[in-house]
Amino acid sequence: MDLGGKAEGGGTACVKAVAVPKGPRILKRRVVSRMPEDIKNNKFLNAAIQANLPSNYNFEIKKTVWKVRDAKASCVALQFPEGLMMFATSISEILRAFAGVKDIVILGDVTYGACCVDDFAAKAAGASFLVS
């Protein structure tokens, strides 16, 4: 494409537009962590969840076991809403058996959604991981 214009000496200058080729496009991909197969398909973990927890709640036990293992947490604090506090001991036994947690602290203060998460009490109890 020619674009007409005036040159410094008063003459006409020709300017040509040239397409500059771009280099190869580099896509940055995010690696998504996937739950290990030994947790996802563990028949003993599935049996423990089925036997001890109601099926109408999704406690995300497998994800919790995975995250606790990944963090190598030795002491875990559990905090639940008032209506789910009755399942705290069952969940603590599952975490002890399948996540390799030595110490589990069940916090007595209840949560209301994201409100009132007692991270200070968990830290004071020596917990390195809080499940709420």
Q: Which domains does the chain have, with CATH numbers?
A: 59-132 (3.40.50.11840)
Burial (0-12, 13-18, 19+ Cβ within 10 Å), 64: buried
The phi, psi pair for 11, rounded to 5°, reads: -80, 180
Closest by CA position to 65, among listed 86, 44, 85, 51: 44
Q: Quote the pLDDT of residue 131.
A: 94
Confirm whether pTM is higher than 0.75: no
Identify residue 45 by its one-letter amino acid code: L
Give the Å distances, CA to CA, from 46 to 40, 42, 92: 9, 6, 15
Across 6-20, 53-67, 116-130, least confident range: 6-20
- Tens-digit pLDDT profile for residues 1-13: 545 555 555 666 5
- Tens-digit pLDDT profile for residues 22-64: 777 777 766 667 889 999 999 999 999 999 999 999 999 999 9
